[in-house]
Amino acid sequence: MATWDDVRRVATALPEVTEDAGEKLSWLVRKKAFAWERPLRRGDLEALGDAAPTGPVLCARTADVGVKEALVADDPAVYFTTPHFNGYPAVLVRLDLIALDELAELLEEAWLAQAPKRVAAAYLESRP
């Protein structure tokens, strides 16, 4: 089970990340958002019906729509989407159901999807 503090800790440990704590939390790399708080809107709630989560929802970028679809298919208890995100490479996450190690992997992949190529390459080379 993850919290916003866990998201903050993992996201800000990545290179060149800034946090925007405005109206909704978001994490950016060179001004490109890779993860953000995504409260469900009325249209989302209508589309999801009884399956709509009641806890906190994180939105994270994915490398492409195929990755998003794979996450949703592999673990629909944790990952989901709404019509608003059809065709968009981002997945919604039930924050209170995702394991911490899975959250870390998701955020790293989201960061890699948005980070400049040189920054991402340097980061990947520096990992053990």
Has residue 40 got a pLDDT over 90?
yes
Protein fold of 4-126: Aspartate Aminotransferase, domain 1 (3.90.1150)
- Predicted pLDDT of residue 22: 87
Contact 113, 34 (CB under 8 A): yes
Q: What is the pLDDT of residues 88-115, one digit of tens each?
A: 999 999 999 999 999 999 999 999 999 9
Helix segments in the chain, DSSP class H:
4-12, 42-48, 65-74, 100-114, 117-126
What's the angle, vertex CA 27, arms to CA 24 and CA 30, rounded to 5?
Answer: 130
